[in-house]
């Protein structure tokens, strides 16, 4: 069945530059550039934590106008070492983004992030507000305990089958702390058992992402990819995404001047709308759009339409110096 968003987003495109940037003695991150090499720079911050970038994430932007930059965060996707959690925190990711901006010779850019990408975008903006021309945020996640409690416990009121599949491998006593149980299995169990646990963990979020049942994936990730993703995500969630001492709702005064759009699915079961509304309550300068017929996934038609409209409007809202050549 054709993806209904295919007619909404821009055509598929390939990067004209793919490279790796050493960001520490241990980590190197993979980044790519697509679209107009002299266009308005926009960087995509992927979700997860741990997911990595996908080719479809290039398609929310007019490639004739935008210099589109994607990168895989530490331990994610094509970055190396895959699944590595050492020297991997929100603070190191913030510095990686800034190091990449400097490496690419960019003065200011638009930051585009969904789910965990919205978390990282807000954290980066709080420290480097002068480097940001605009923010496009989707599916707000602020990494607070109540949000994680919703994801691991209360969602079962709406998706009991998915929750039952998640906890099926756990002993009854382990279900009292699902996060700790999966962390122990994925980090300390033999590899075959760790991979099995990672598959349970990853498939849970995938099964509650969309308003309507998701289409079966055509290409299943390898065991190594599944394990790396789960390792990075559990590492972050076990540590409160390293934001406990600097809650994101406390940093809005430093970024409220930045043009911003918040796009939120009404039936988002991963990151419920209440979080986006709380953010907007203290940041009324940002535009909030609640999409009435969508869940969490960026490629649901209503969400994809709103993201495209935002990137199109930002062409004039934060225009580059001189109109970039049309290619």
Active site members: 115, 268, 296
The answer to whether residues 259 and 314 touch, using CB atoms and an 8 Å cutoff, is yes
CA distances for 195 relative to 30, 59, 114, angstroms: 24, 31, 26
Residues sharing a CB contact under 8 Å with residue 273, sequence separation 6 or more, in sequence order: 264, 265, 266, 290
Q: Using a CB cutoff of 8 Å and minimum separation of 24, what contacts does 161-164 make?
A: 162/204, 162/207, 162/208, 163/204
Q: Round to whole Å and give the CA distance between 59 and 20.
A: 22
Q: Round to whole Å and give the CA distance between 118 and 165.
A: 28
Q: Parallel, antiparallel, or unpaired: how do β-strands 40-45 and 66-71 relate?
A: parallel
Which two structure tokens, joined as six digits, stand for 109? 């850019």
């Amino acid at each position: 069945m054709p993806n209904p968003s295919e007619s909404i987003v821009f055509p598929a495109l390939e990067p004209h530059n793919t490279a790796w940037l050493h960001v520490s003695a241990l980590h190197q991150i993979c980044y790519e550039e697509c679209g107009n090499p002299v266009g308005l720079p926009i960087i995509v911050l992927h979700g997860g934590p741990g997911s990595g970038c996908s080719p479809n994430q290039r398609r929310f932007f007019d490639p004739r106008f935008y210099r589109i930059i994607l990168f895989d965060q530490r331990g994610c996707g094509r970055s190396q070492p895959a699944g590595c959690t050492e020297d991997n925190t929100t603070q190191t990711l913030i510095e990686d983004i800034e190091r990449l901006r400097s490496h690419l010779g960019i003065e200011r850019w638009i930051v585009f992030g969904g789910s965990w990408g919205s978390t990282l975008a807000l954290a980066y903006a709080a420290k480097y507000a002068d480097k940001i021309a605009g923010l496009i945020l989707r599916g707000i996640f602020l990494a607070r305990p109540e949000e994680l409690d919703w994801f691991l416990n209360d969602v079962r009121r709406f998706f009991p089958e998915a929750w039952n599949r998640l906890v099926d491998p756990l002993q009854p006593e382990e279900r009292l702390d699902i996060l700790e149980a999966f962390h122990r299995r994925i980090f300390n169990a033999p590899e075959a058992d760790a991979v099995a646990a990672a598959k349970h963990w990853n498939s849970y979020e995938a099964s509650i992402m969309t308003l309507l049942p998701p289409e079966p994936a055509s290409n299943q990730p390898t065991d190594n990819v599944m394990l790396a993703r789960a390792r990075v995500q559990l590492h972050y969630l076990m540590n409160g995404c390293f934001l406990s001492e600097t809650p994101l709702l406390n940093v809005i005064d430093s970024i409220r001047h930045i043009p911003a759009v918040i796009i939120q699915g009404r039936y988002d079961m991963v990151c419920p709308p209440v979080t986006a509304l709380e953010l907007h309550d203290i940041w009324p300068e940002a535009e909030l759009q609640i999409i009435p017929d969508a869940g969490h996934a960026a490629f649901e038609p209503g969400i994809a339409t709103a993201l495209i409209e935002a990137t199109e409007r930002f062409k004039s809202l934060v225009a580059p110096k001189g109109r970039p050549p049309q290619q």
